[in-house]
Amino acid sequence: MAALMRLLLFVFATGIISFEVSTAVQAQFATPEAAVQAVYAQYQGSSKRPNLLSLRLDSAAANHFFEPELARAWLKDLASASNGDNVIDVDPFIGAQDANVSKLSIERSKMMGEYAVVQANLRNFSKPTHVTYRLKRAPDGWRIYDVTSNQAQGLRRMLGLRD
């Protein structure tokens, strides 16, 4: 009986550890660079558009990658796309509508209080593209606050948000 109790205790303890590990995987990004790397991980090894960060970004992905105000604005714009009233017509992470990402380099973040700036350089169909991310620290990790590609207007401004 004592052996059975130890076994049950072990299984219970292991289950909690497994639960905690899987919960940690769902947490926000530990560093600003990790958030940017996760964006571009969606483009790697696929000849088709990324399913998480394309213009079809869903609510769960938007809330995972973006800070709350930007996520709400993105989803509102996405909802108006069916009527042709959307503002965003290019993928802001590559500065184009179609993706063929290569030669990606992500620089170390520059920290400014609860914000960080991360520069990403890549080639999209051999065209050099420079993307600047501003990220905001949340209690559970880092989220994208704004993104600008090739010196274009930032995503926040395009969506009518104040800085």
pLDDT of res. 54: 52
Tell the burial category of 120 from Cβ atoms under 10 Å away from its Cβ (0-12, 13-18, 19+).
buried
pLDDT at 27 over 80: no
pLDDT at 2 over 80: no
**pLDDT tens digit string along 120-157?**
999 999 999 999 999 999 999 999 999 999 877 899 99
Give the closest residue to 143 by CA, choosing from 118, 163, 107: 118
- What is the pTM assigned to this prediction? 0.77
More confident residue, 30 or 87: 30
Strands 127-138 and 115-124 come out as: antiparallel
pLDDT at 5 over 70: no
pLDDT of res. 45: 65
31 CB-side CA count, 13 A: 9
Q: Which of 18-22, 47-51, 95-99 has the highest mean pLDDT?
A: 95-99
The answer to whether 129 and 113 have CB atoms below 8 angstroms apart is no
pLDDT of res. 17: 34
